[in-house]
Amino acid sequence: MNPQVELNLALILFVPWFSILAWLYWAYPKQPRLAARSLFDSAALLLATLLAGWGMQWSMHNADPNAGAIWKQVLATSVAYGLFLGVMTAALLLRWRLLPRWRAAVAAADA
């Protein structure tokens, strides 16, 4: 296997699932869709993706070489997925706290 593909295989295999989760996070709830929310959501998705990529690379370089090649991939996938979900969960909880402020801003602008 190409060494570059092997190094990034965990991320390559999870890109479809990360994309589905990212789309769901971005799309719901539909309102309010302010610039502040779009910026917040973009930053959360970027941070989640960067940390997942970093975690995958870290895992591949720090996995026990005696465990076998497949276990490097298992560790890399687990760490990348955990970091992605951790950031997205934190962002979702923070967004729930910020939504009332954003709704109030929309209501004030409409009034």
- How far apart are alpha carbons 51 and 47 in whole angstroms? 6
Its sign, for the CA torsion 77, 78, 79, 82, is: positive
Please choose, from the candidates 12, 10, 20, the residue with its C-alpha nearest in 3D space to the C-alpha of residue 75. Answer: 10
Residues 6 or more apart in contact with residue 108 via CB below 8 angstroms: none
- With beta carbons less than 8 A apart as the criterion, state whether 10 and 80 touch: yes
Q: Of how many residues is the chain composed?
A: 111
**pLDDT tens string for the chain (111 positions)?**
777 787 778 778 888 999 999 999 999 888 778 888 999 999 999 999 999 999 998 998 898 888 887 888 889 999 999 999 999 999 999 999 998 888 888 888 876
Q: Determine the residue type at 75.
A: L
- With beta carbons less than 8 A apart as the criterion, state whether 26 and 45 touch: yes
Please choose, from the candidates 58, 54, 23, 44, the residue with its C-alpha nearest in 3D space to the C-alpha of residue 86. Answer: 44
Residue ranges of E strands in the chain:
none
- How far apart are alpha carbons 97 and 41 in whole angstroms? 14
Q: Is the pTM of this model over 0.75?
A: yes
